[in-house]
Amino acid sequence: MSDARSVLHAELRNAARSAGLPVVFGGEVVDGRLRLSGFVGTRTSALHDLAILPGAGLGGRVLMQGHPIAVNDYGSARTITHDYDRPVLAEGLSSIIAVPVRTGDRCRGVVYGAVRRTVTFGDRVRDALMTSGRRLARELSARDELGSRVALADALSLGASREELRSVHSELRAIAGALPDPEARRRIYAAAQRLVDLGEAKPVSQPRVRLSTRETDVLAQVALGCTNAEVADRLSLSRETVKAYLQSVMRKLDAHTRHEAVVKARRLMLLP
């Protein structure tokens, strides 16, 4: 949960800068309710950990309708319910805009922007918050994928085919390489390394070869039989970059073919 909050806080800070707003806050849907957990520019704790029901207040309406909604004067707005007037007005907020964080057809959270006076929000503010909402949606999707893959990795440790283990290893590395958050990347790469450590084979000797993170990412995809074009697509790299990484790997491993590079890497326990 702390990792999720750090990602949310970082994105809210970005949103505040790009939208030029003094107050930005938001949260994720947990157990059917929007739980506010990230704040930039607030002066009180009135909104902290507030749980918002679908349909209630501005955020609840966004959850139900799935599109941005703004009110110029929150206290007198007739388009929303006023279930949360006390914490909102305690913070002194007047004009508020809320945008959804959507993954597929699900609304997973809400990002709010606010000022302490009456204004009309323009396209710049709306677009900046929507961009932040899309980035958060990608983070949530990646976290969901990571959770399912790590759970599968744990299941594999109890006994599964070598090919399943190798497939999950390569997918974890592909997911990690696409994440902007360094701590999330570190944890996913660590989970991938656990799969290598589960291997039955023992290294012939202490490996002297040291592959870079991206070199290992590329080789893990090649080990599944991916072409350079497929590796490039999975890792969001150019084909030329993939080719350069693969050539470097083959040189380090003294391998003459892609297959030989994979075999030697597995022998050295650089791959599962």
User: What is the predicted pLDDT for the residue at 205?
Assistant: 55
Which is nearest to 212 in space by CA: 270, 257, 262, 268? 270
Three-state SS string over 18-50 comes to HHCCCEEEEEEEECCEEEEEEEECCCCCCCCCC
User: What is the predicted pLDDT for the residue at 93?
Assistant: 97
Kindly list the structural domains of the chain, giving each domain's residue range(s) and its CATH number in brackets, ordered by start.
2-143 (3.30.450.40), 157-267 (1.10.10.10)
More confident residue, 121 or 177: 121
More confident residue, 6 or 103: 103
The CA distance from 201 to 13, in Å, is 47
Evaluate if residue 167 carries a pLDDT over 90.
Answer: no
DSSP string, 116-159: SS-----HHHHHHHHHHHHHHHHHHHHHHHHHHHHHHHHHHTTS
Collapsing DSSP states into helix, strand and coil, what is residue 185?
A: helix
User: Which residues sit opposite 107 in a β-bridge?
Assistant: 102
Report pTM. 0.60
Residue-wise pLDDT for 114-158, tens only, equals: 999 999 999 999 999 999 999 888 887 776 666 666 665 555 554
Question: Residues 188-192: what's their mean pLDDT?
Answer: 83
Question: Residues 70-95: what's their mean pLDDT?
Answer: 96
